[in-house]
Amino acid sequence: MSGRVLVVDDVATNRLLLRAKLSSAYYDVVVAEDGPKALDLARSEQPDMVMLDVMMPGMDGFAVCARLKADPETAHIPVIMVTALDTAEERIRGLEAGADDFLSKPFNDLALFARVRSLMRMKMMFDELRLRDLTSRELGLAEVMPDQDIEAEPSGPILIAPPDAGRGGQLAAELGARLSIGTIVTSSEREALNLSRLELPDCFIVHQTLMEGGDGLRLVSALRARPETRQSAVILVVENGDVGTAAKGLDLGASDYIEAPFDVNELIARIRSQLRRKRYSDRLRSNVRNGLKLAVIDPLTGIYNRRYASQHMIRVMERARETGGVFAVMMIDLDKFKSINDRFGHDAGDAVLREFSRRLQENIRGVDLVARFGGEEFFVAMPDVDAGAAGHAAERIRRAIEDAPVRLPGGAGEVDVTVSIGVAVAGAGDGDAEAIIKRADSALYLSKEGGRNRVSFFARAA
């Protein structure tokens, strides 16, 4: 996949060289000769990636990287740091500034392009996720959290697939001590895959050669082919200088690689960087999911709203059609609720609505749907329930609120509350959802007319 790369270097020949290389592979290239220009261009040109020289007069590469990652407009753009000297300390410093990878001059083309392809792929995915997240933020539906506040400590265990038991044990001990997190050492590809289903690791450290003649690349590939591990962080450990395997690993979907032997501090910095990335995408995903949920939740009581109940009724009725069974619906209305609002104020009224929702949910099975239809009107749908059972449940609900007064907020005392309930039982062929709900509604009317605080059934015309 093509994309736009911002090349930042203070030396003109370096800029020209990288631009030529990237252009010949059909990337769109933009160049900047210093940090401040780079920061401007990163905002205005929306590059898909930044290749950033470390040593520059004025603002150096670390500083530029930190600034890019601190700005919400540019934080999601992958950064490759380009350096002449190439030490573990420098890499750790870069990772801590938020860099995604390092390349040392002179460039190895294989390593360069494999990394660029891998980061482009990641960027496209993030763009897709961010688009959705932006919508939720605009609508005020998303948890807004500065990107740099994302926790980078592992929460699940780290799974290590080592070349031999000795190195596996040693690495597990070092990581365990430093990250205060569980580690699992596996002895084969198959075991790694089985364990990953049971233990849901947050991160995989996969060596190029595994025990029992296993192939690290094959394991990377298998992890990426499975939906449950497709989003996990996978770091490939390759032999020193084996750029071919590293490139292959990135193309197969590894998140990152490190050359053995390595400084464990560098591995930890890389793990943190990958987990930060994973948490960020997880959060983008959950922001959208949560935003969507808000569309079907009543904000006052936290239970489903009428919109969701209508959708749910379609499924309840489909099920009745498939099984030939019946189901029951209830309409529940708080008695004389208006007078509670008038006597004690809206805050008290809200508290009563919340407390009733709570008791209602506590007294009805998990498979049953509870919803607020608006005002002081509630709805329950019970699949596979006949008239006798529905009557039991309705009575239980009636008593649940009658039996104990509701405590009002702010020390305003207590209030006795009762409800009227209308029940209708139906099966396939008894009309659409609206018709069935109307029947429960007319049964509710009977309860109100009959003096409130009671349960009535819709009586079928004979």
Ligand X SMILES: Nc1nc2c(ncn2[C@@H]2O[C@@H]3COP(=O)(O)O[C@H]4[C@@H](O)[C@H](n5cnc6c(=O)[nH]c(N)nc65)O[C@@H]4COP(=O)(O)O[C@H]3[C@H]2O)c(=O)[nH]1
CB 391 within 8 A of CB 457: yes
Q: Is 300 in the site for ligand X (CB under 6 A)?
A: yes
Among residues 168 and 216, whose Cβ is nearest to its own copies? 216
Cis amide linkage into residue 154, ω under 30° from 0: no
Clarify whether 376 is annotated catalytic.
yes
What is the closest distance, in whole angstroms, from the C-beta atom of residue 427 to its own copies in the complex? 22
The CB-of-116 to its own copies minimum distance in angstroms stands at 12
Chain length of the chain: 462
Tell me which of its own copies, Mg ion, ligand X, none is bound by residue 198, counting a contact when its beta carbon lies within the kind-specific cut-off of 5 to 8 angstroms: none
Q: In this complex, which beta carbon is closest to ligand X, that of residue 227 or of residue 299?
A: 299
User: Please, which of residues 183-242 interact with ligand X by CB under 6 A?
Assistant: none
Among 336, 338, 343, 460, binds ligand X (CB under 6 A): 338
Strand partners, 5: 29, 49
Choose one: 21-29, 44-52, 104-112, 360-368; the region binding ligand X (CB under 6 A). Answer: 360-368
Residues forming contacts to its own copies in the complex (CB under 8 A) are 1-4, 26-28, 46, 48, 121, 124-125, 127-129, 131-132, 135-136, 139-141, 217-218, 220-222, 224-225, 227, 248, 251-253, 285, 288-289, 291-296, 299, 306-308, 310-312, 314, 375
Taking CB under 6 A as the criterion, the residue among 193, 364, 371, 440 binding ligand X is 364
Sequence-separated (6 or more) residues with CB below 8 Å from residue 415: 340, 344, 348, 352, 405, 406, 408
Among 53, 202, 335, 441, binds Mg ion (CB under 5 A): 53
Please state the closest distance from residue 15 (CB atom) to Mg ion, in A: 10
Residue 349's binding partner among Mg ion, its own copies, ligand X, none (Cβ under 5 to 8 angstroms by kind) is ligand X
With binding defined as CB under 6 A, does residue 85 bind ligand X? no
Kindly tell me the number of DSSP H helices and DSSP E strands found in the chain. 15, 18
- By the 10 Å C-beta count (0-12 exposed, 13-18 middle, 19+ buried), 328 is classed as buried
Q: Provide the 3-class DSSP secondary structure of residue 158.
A: strand
Strands (E), 163-310: 183-185, 203-207, 233-239, 256-260, 304-305
Burial of 57 (0-12, 13-18, 19+ CB in 10 A): exposed
Identify which of residues 290 and 361 has a Cβ nearer to its own copies in the complex.
Answer: 290
- Contact flag: residue 63 with Mg ion (CB under 5 A): no
Rounded Cα distance, 317 and 322, in Å? 9
Which span (48-56, 150-158, 203-211, 272-280) binds Mg ion, by CB under 5 A? 48-56
Give the residue, chosen from 81, 376, 381, 447, that forms a contact with ligand X under the rule CB under 6 A. 376
Cis bond before residue 409 (omega within 30° of 0): no
Which residue in the set 99, 382, 406, 433 belongs to the binding site for ligand X (CB under 6 A)? 382
According to the binding rule CB under 6 A, does residue 365 interact with ligand X?
A: yes
With DSSP H G I counted as helix, E B as strand and the rest as coil, what are the percentages for the chain, rounded to 5? 50, 20, 30
Q: Are strands 419-427 and 326-334 parallel, antiparallel or unpaired?
A: antiparallel
Listed ranges 198-206, 345-353, 425-433, 437-445: which one lies at the site for ligand X (CB under 6 A): 345-353
Query: What are the start-end ranges of the H helices in 253-336?
Result: 264-294, 306-323
**Radius of gyration for the chain, computed over Cα atoms and rounded to the nearest angstrom:** 31
10 is a site residue for Mg ion (CB under 5 A): yes
Instruction: Give the residue with the Cβ less far from ligand X, 251 or 384.
Output: 384
Q: How far is the CB of 61 from its own copies (least distance, A)?
A: 24
| Bond prior to 201 in cis (omega within 30° of 0) | no
Q: Which does 368 bind (CB under 5 to 8 A by kind): its own copies, ligand X, Mg ion, none?
A: ligand X
First CA to last CA distance, the chain:
69
The catalytically annotated residue of 376, 377, 395, 449 is 376
User: Rounded to an integer, what distance in angstroms lies between the CA atom of residue 430 and that of residue 320?
Assistant: 11
Which of ligand X, its own copies, Mg ion, none sits in contact with 341, Cβ below 5 to 8 A by type? ligand X
The answer to whether 7 and 18 have CB atoms below 8 angstroms apart is yes
User: Counting contacts by CB under 6 A, is residue 349 touching ligand X?
Assistant: yes
Please identify, using beta-carbon distances, which residue of 31 and 426 lies nearer to ligand X.
426
Token digits of residue 10: 């203070």
Q: Which is nearer to ligand X, 138 or 365 (CB)?
A: 365
- What's the gap between Cα 444 and its chain centre? 42
Closest CA to 401 of 378, 369, 368: 378
Residue 10's binding partner among Mg ion, its own copies, ligand X, none (Cβ under 5 to 8 angstroms by kind) is Mg ion
Contact between 453 and 420 (Cβ < 8 Å): yes
Residues at the contact surface with Mg ion, assessed by CB under 5 A: 10, 53, 55-56
Residues at the contact surface with ligand X, assessed by CB under 6 A: 300, 337-338, 341, 346, 349-350, 353, 363-368, 375-376, 382, 385, 389, 392-393, 396
Please identify every residue annotated as catalytic. Answer: 376
